[in-house]
Structure formats: structure tokens, C-alpha cells
Amino acid sequence: MGSINYGTSDVIILGVVPFELDDYLKDPYFIEWAQEWAQDEALEALAYDQMERDYIFMSEIIQDIINDYYNLEFFKLSIDPGYYEGFTLKIDSDIPYYFDDYLERKDALKEITQLKRCLLRCANSGLVECFPEWCTGYHDKKETIKSIRNAIKQLREEVSNTLTEKQYLKSKKGIE
């Protein structure tokens, strides 16, 4: 089963690849630390606790990145918990049907650049593009960065093609 199954986003879905219990149980540093605290039969319980702490730590890192971009007007970023474990980065787009004027469109394009920086920082911190389905699929870092660039390119095209209020009203008069 996938870990994120219901993740959604208006731009791209980034999430954390679920941690594997075996990775912890094969890690000599974890085993050495855990053996100081528990008997062998409790290693799995400690590994699950450590996995949970690692998810929390990673989500705190991503939240710090999001906080650096808190003043975005056209995009809202938040962390959504995974269905079973992990989390996704939710990106809600609030691009209007038309812009008030050219300056507002210009501001939206500037925000897209900020969003790109944020998403690339998240990818460099361990998030990858994921595809929530019954069994969630994941891209690697290289493919994630390529997908981020494509998503940003599409956003720029969408914003560039969005009319200003004046253009919208003018086009509406031409139809009537």
C-alpha cells in the first residue's frame, strides 16, 4: 500500500518516500544506540519510534522552508499528513480569473519564481514528486527537479495568458 494515497495539489505533489523498517534495523549506528536502551525484541519498537521522530524532523525542516515563503499571495503552501505515514506538501493556487492590471500579473510571475525556489529547496531537503494512487509511486530527485521546472513553466504560461480586467472586459464587449 502507498503511504500518501489521497495527496492533492494544484501545482505538483511532493512527498516524503516512506521510511523502511529494515533500513533502521540494518543501520549499525541505530543498532548500537538501540541496544543501549532495549533488548533485541524491542529493537523493532524503537525503530518505529525513530521513524516517527524522523518524519517529524523532516516535516519541521519543510515547514521552516515554507515559513520563508509565508507572504505568497497567489499560492498557499501547507504540509498534509500522509494516509498511513509520511506527508505531502500541498500547494493551492489562487490565480484569479483575470488580473486587476498588468502589475498584478507581474507580481504573480514574481511569486512563481519564489515558488520555484521553495520547491527546489524542498526537493534538496528530501521531498520527491509522488503519484498518489492505490500504490503510491515516487520519482527520484533528478526527475523531481525536472517535474518542478515543467510545473513552473506551465504556471508561467497560465499567468501570462491570463487577461487583465481591462482586456477581459474588452474581449467580452467584442463577443456581444
Place of cell 500504490: 135
Asked whether 137 and 4 are in contact (CB, 8 A), the reply is no
Give residue 73's pLDDT.
92
**Around Cβ 101, how many Cβ atoms within 10 Å?**
13
What is the per-residue pLDDT for 104?
A: 95
Q: According to the model, what pLDDT value does residue 5 have? A: 47
Domain edges within the chain: 14-175
Q: Which cell numbers in the block locate residue 116? A: 520555484
Rounded to whole angstroms, how far apart are CA atoms 94 and 129?
21
| Residue reference for cell 507580481 | 107
DSSP annotation of 140 reads: -
What is the rounded CA–CA span in Å between residue 171 and residue 10? Answer: 27
Report the C-alpha gap between 130 and 141 in whole angstroms.
11
Instruction: Work out the angle at residue 117's Cα, subtended by the Cα atoms of residues 56 and 3, and round it to the nearest 5 degrees.
Output: 35
Alpha carbons 158 and 95: distance in angstroms, whole number: 9
So what's the pLDDT on residue 172? 79
Residue 22 CB neighbour total at 10 angstroms: 9
Q: What pLDDT, on a 0 to 100 scale, did the predictor assign at position 71?
A: 85
Residue 145's nearest CA partner among 31, 43, 46, 14 is 14
The pLDDT assigned to 69 comes to 83
How far is CA 164 from each of CA 77, 103, 106, 108, rounded to the nearest angstrom? 25, 9, 11, 12
Per-10-residue mean pLDDT, the chain, length 176: 55 88 88 75 83 92 91 90 81 91 95 95 93 75 95 95 90 69
- pTM equals 0.84
pLDDT at position 4 is 41
| C-alpha span between 15 and 81 (Å, rounded) | 10
